[in-house]
Structure 1
Amino acid sequence: MKIEENKYKRIPNTNSFGVYIGLDNVGRTSMFVKLSKKPAFTTSSKYLIFEYNKRHDELWALTVAIAEQQYIGVFNKLISDLVDTVSEINHPLVAERMFIQRFIEWKTLFEKEVTSMLDFNKIVGLAGELYFLSEFMIGKYGILDSLNAWSGPLGADKDFNINNTWYEIKTKSFKKDTIHLNSHSQLISNNIGYLTVLSYEKSSLANSNSINLFDLYHKISNLIETQSLQLQFDRKLANLNFIPDEKYKEINLLFHQIEFFEVNEKFPQISNDEFDKVIMNIEYDLFLPELKHYKVEV
């Protein structure tokens, strides 16, 4: 296969050993590197496709493409890790050796990442966020601003931050009256925001009103019009260790009405401002029936 380098863009911080990202000649997302000698790994796997050829400058060109676009989240993690591996190395041959060593490890890691599955609690939590994104955010703010606002997967304290307000999503069984806060900072802000509660019950594919994580992913993806935005969406999901797969159709949830509680200066919450150098984290539960005075329509 002839590699057209103009189809690839060099990733920043790969100065001594270039790592390029782009599309191969059949349109698959792929990585391209130039090696000083023929790579020892030449057998493609179920998930990664290797192709290589010798260049006019006697270097070897290697492309590594994903077999299916649904693996883009794991592929982005692979690329990010490989870039971290070589970014601080100044000698090209040393960087190349470290790249090869780490990539060989990733050949096994990739399959493990793709085939692993979130546990039930994480499935429910992520499904709640995607359901909120689909049923509320996109209708109110549009697909672009909604996906940009989804900052929880990037490590932000609040799940969604937009237009000087925020939404912290909590998904709970409809039988429970409490929600759990993993950190005191989840509700602390200088801006008024909303504690957003989604109640669910377990259901099945036979219930046309139920939905699952796999279908939520595709429902949102079908609204995305650009490849860059899709990559952003997939990258955020990969940060949460979610790779779209039909196995996630096995757990179906029936969501109830979305409830909003306005978090203002009077809202009950615990802060460790006075002892923030001593008490590093606070977790607590909120009893929802006692918050009815803060319940609002949004």
Structure 2
Amino acid sequence: MSSKENELREKWNAINYYSGGALKLSVNHPLEWYVRYASPEHKSVVIVSQKAIKKIESSKCIDASCNQRKDGKYAISFTLMDRKQEDVFIIMAGDIIEYSNVDTDDIALLKVLRRYNAWLKLLDHKCDAVLGSNTQKGLIGELLFLKEKIETGMLPSEALIGWDGPEGADQDFVYAECWYEIKSTGASSTEIFISSVEQLDRDDEGELVVYRIDKCAPDQPKSFTLYGLVHAIIDLISRLGENPDELVLKLGSAGYIDMKEYDKQHFSMSSKQIYSVNNTFPKIRRKEIPNEIINMEYRIDIPSIKSWEK
């Protein structure tokens, strides 16, 4: 646990639930940070700023607001509504403080909002701040594909616009010329899991891209971490003169927040196969199943689709 997280817990523990009041955090930061209780059941982090945040979203887990105080300053508060998410909320607060610790309060406030938006979906949909290894492998596959697209000449902004997977779209990547479904599986696996009929159910031809990814020891040649891969793509986007913020927001939607925890587990990518998903490819079509069946999962045997491999 970081020192910021420790201080957050200690300050909340020092406040009497019923007497109200707030305690200021001892952080060297252009903005003033406080903790308080919005009610005996609800912890809040409050920022006092000279400027307001005009648009700030709430969610089922966090009630966010910006209100002007009597002294003319603004109180920007984030209140945890779901106590089961307390540990993640505290990690989020410490992360936002660190991420937004820049020279000026204007830029700091902008970074607070960007980082908060990246955390929103994680808090709404996840029970833990760190993704499991299988989920990490799935995200690694999508990031490897995104990186390849940029390295082969596609503008980062265009590549990111087409990355729909984090937003819950049926296919992971959709571009004008083709759509792509990305799958990550182990080196010895003989099957691919299709989590919904819609993933491969399109009339136009697309591609199924399969990455063989496994956990490995840190000293294995060409091993990498999810954290390292993310930062390699951030550096790539920056070198090409574009802003990586859209990548950060997409990652937040996918449940990933940039933390050193993701620099511990190493992975290796042993191979990649691409299959043409055309009208002859073995897939289940929505029009072929009864309306009463609202969802269907199935597995494809990898050796049996060799003839569709590109």
Counterpart for residue 49 of structure 2: 63
Find the aligned partners of 1:292 and 1:137 in 2 and give their Cα distance.
28
Counterpart for residue 250 of structure 1: 264
Find the aligned partners of 2:210 and 2:50 in 1 and give their Cα distance.
43
Find the aligned partners of 2:27 and 2:226 in 1 and give their Cα distance.
24
| Secondary structure of 2:130 counterpart | coil
> Please, which of 122, 133, 138 is the counterpart of residue 135 of structure 2?
122
> Please, which of 193, 204, 229 is the counterpart of residue 191 of structure 1?
204
Question: How far did residue 140 of structure 1 move?
Answer: 4.5
Question: How far did residue 220 of structure 1 move?
Answer: 0.4
Shift in alpha-carbon separation, 1:85–1:275, aligned structure 2, 3 A:
farther
Counterpart for residue 133 of structure 1: 146
Question: How far did residue 195 of structure 1 move?
Answer: 0.5
- Unaligned runs of at least 5 residues, structure 2: 1-19, 34-46, 69-73, 96-127
> How many residues end up aligned between the 2 structures?
229
Question: How far did residue 257 of structure 1 move?
Answer: 2.5
> Please, which of 158, 174, 183 is the counterpart of residue 171 of structure 2?
158
Q: Which runs of 4+ in 1 moved over 6 A?
A: 45-49, 99-102
1:106-121 pair list within 5 angstroms: 110-113=89-92, 116-121=129-134
Q: Is the 8 A contact 1:43 1:50 kept in 2?
A: no
Find the aligned partners of 2:283 and 2:146 in 1 and give their Cα distance.
25
Counterpart for residue 80 of structure 1: 57
> Please, which of 191, 196, 201 is the counterpart of residue 214 of structure 2?
201
Identity %: 27
Question: How far did residue 51 of structure 1 move?
Answer: 2.5
1:51-103 Cα offsets, whole Å, 9 max, x none, are 39xxxxxxxx93399xxxxxxxxxxxx94327x9689xxxx89xxxxx98972
Tell me whether 1:266 sits opposite 2:280 in the alignment: yes
Find the aligned partners of 1:64 and 1:178 in 2 and give their Cα distance.
57
Find the aligned partners of 2:265 and 2:28 in 1 and give their Cα distance.
25
After alignment, is 270-279 or 117-126 more displaced?
Answer: 270-279
Question: How far did residue 201 of structure 1 move?
Answer: 2.6
- Unaligned runs of at least 5 residues, structure 1: 1-38, 53-60, 66-77, 94-98
Shift in alpha-carbon separation, 1:256–1:137, aligned structure 2, 3 A:
farther
TM-score by length of 2: 0.63
Question: How far did residue 265 of structure 1 move?
Answer: 0.7
Find the aligned partners of 1:277 and 1:102 in 2 and give their Cα distance.
46
TM-score by length of 1: 0.66
**RMSD between aligned residues:** 3.7
Could you tell me which amino acid in structure 1 is paired with residue 219 of structure 2? A
Shift in alpha-carbon separation, 1:80–1:164, aligned structure 2, 3 A:
farther
Find the aligned partners of 1:47 and 1:118 in 2 and give their Cα distance.
30
Q: Is the 8 A contact 1:158 1:168 kept in 2?
A: yes
Q: Is the 8 A contact 1:138 1:146 kept in 2?
A: no
